[in-house]
A and B are shown apart, each in its own frame.
Chain A
């Protein structure tokens, strides 16, 4: 189904339970409509790879019981308040966290992009992140001059089963315009399958516009595209629309308890169904 246009429901059905799923940060335009479709189909045991952090999107998936593992540099709702569902799930042992630091997640994806087994990264040594990540190793820089010891951390490649992103525009060939948000390209290249929601479909072929082509994920990396207008709502989306701050504020209050979260989620799902 390379480059094909599908519905939100079909897109959610194509992301299997247990998948390692790469998702963007909230400030990149998170695919919230697609996330609700995943929750509606009852997704379970997802291993989220937050590139490199997440917030509202992860809260929704964790609160809905769709997540087993969260690999991230941070989960934050910023000034709105704490990520209650994430914190509660951790304390209750319902999810496992693989704490990382932003460039470690980027580096793992970049290793996968290049087909490499691992990537070295500076920093990290002496951080408690390292002993809590048995999959990270410290080696001696084999190129250190003069036989001097130079310890450096190596990180395994991160090759997600799927990536799920939201973008302004795609064409019917499956080319997706992302502009400057180049981490979305890295995610698509590192992942075996990439699913995209877009605000709208463009006529013609995005790659034929030379000024725009460098900001495009070519269709070769794209599995399927679904149209989801205001698909990042209630989060802001680039220069296209502001966030609905009142809704996110209400979320933080509601999600203090699982019951409050469940009611809030039901409202969101009902709103999505009405809009569809």
Chain B
């Protein structure tokens, strides 16, 4: 990696590119990187992209309580959302419940949150995990909180759009039910991704390198974006500011 930007700034940049053209991006709990990316996308759109950040007072226009996010999704008023998973498999199934049996899971995670609904209804769901290991990217998840794909006939306007990790960016082909490696981040290699991914995926003959932020984007991230995300994630904003090369 070059010294001109940090890994987090690269991840924010990649997500912001994936959000191009969205009318409304919703950001869920514990999501400082997606939140920053959504705010960057809003800046780049000249304000055309609306952003709601769970836990924010300033960037939260909801007045109907906790149900409003889900109702908005059902109405088709959310274009992009972010999900993660303690486990994610090659068919984009995600597990937020736990491993080693159910319900008495040896490792119990918090639970499925809104995933079993939003994954079906939001057109561009971006899977984001900051750990790229075989313990996360498994051949088959232990528990399907939300399936990556559905049988024909199941109402499903939404689903997985991309998977971003600290090593690379994948797209998801809903017909083939497979991920495709789109780019490898600077400082990392295809072999490293193969070694740390427990499922098979497609890839071009020559995998390109992920493009970093240009100076104008970097200035926005370090300026307005960091200033706004600090309202919801003060510790994250301070950490990013301190890490700026």
Residues of B within 8 A of A180 (CB): 62-63, 65
A254 at the interface (CB under 8 A from B): no
With A103-B70, A181-B65, A186-B65 already in contact, the answer to whether A76 and B110 are too (CB < 8 A) is: yes
Q: How far is the CA of A129 from the CA of B96 in the complex (A)?
A: 11
Beta-carbon contact of B155 and A127 below 8 Å: no
Residues of A within 8 A of B30 (CB): 78-79
B143 at the interface (CB under 8 A from A): yes
* Residue of B with least CB distance to A215: B63
A250 at the interface (CB under 8 A from B): no
Of the stretches A3-11, A117-125, A196-204, the one at the interface is A117-125
Interface mask (A170-206 → B, CB under 8 Å = 1, otherwise 0): 0000000000111111100000000000000000000
Beta-carbon contact of B112 and A127 below 8 Å: yes
Closest CB of chain B to A122's CB: distance in Å? 6
A126 at the interface (CB under 8 A from B): yes
A83 at the interface (CB under 8 A from B): yes
With A121-B117, A126-B147 already in contact, the answer to whether A73 and B65 are too (CB < 8 A) is: no
Beta-carbon contact of B112 and A129 below 8 Å: yes
Beta-carbon contact of A186 and B151 below 8 Å: no
CB under 8 Å from chain B, chain A span 188-229: none
Beta-carbon contact of A122 and B121 below 8 Å: yes
With A124-B117, A132-B102, A182-B64 already in contact, the answer to whether A99 and B154 are too (CB < 8 A) is: no
Residues of A within 8 A of B117 (CB): 101-104, 121-124
The interface residues of chain B, by DSSP majority, are classed as loop
- Give the interface residue-count category, chain A: 35 or more
CB under 8 Å from chain B, chain A span 53-102: 53, 72-76, 78-79, 82-83, 86-87, 90-93, 96-97, 99-102
Beta-carbon contact of B154 and A126 below 8 Å: yes
Beta-carbon contact of A74 and B113 below 8 Å: yes
Contact check: which of B57, B62, B105, B150 meets A125 at CB < 8 Å? Answer: B150
Between A79, A103, A106, the greatest number of chain B beta carbons within 10 A of the residue's beta carbon is seen for A103
* Residue of B with least CB distance to A184: B65
Residues of A within 8 A of B38 (CB): none
With A132-B103, A152-B155 already in contact, the answer to whether A72 and B111 are too (CB < 8 A) is: yes
Residues of A within 8 A of B112 (CB): 73-74, 99-101, 127, 129
Closest CB of chain A to B122's CB: distance in Å? 10
A135 at the interface (CB under 8 A from B): no
CB under 8 Å from chain B, chain A span 235-276: 239
Q: How far is the CA of A90 from the CA of B153 in the complex (A)?
A: 36
Q: Contact residues of A with B, CB < 8 Å?
A: 25, 27-28, 51-53, 72-76, 78-79, 82-83, 86-87, 90-93, 96-97, 99-104, 106, 110, 121-129, 132, 148-152, 180-186, 239
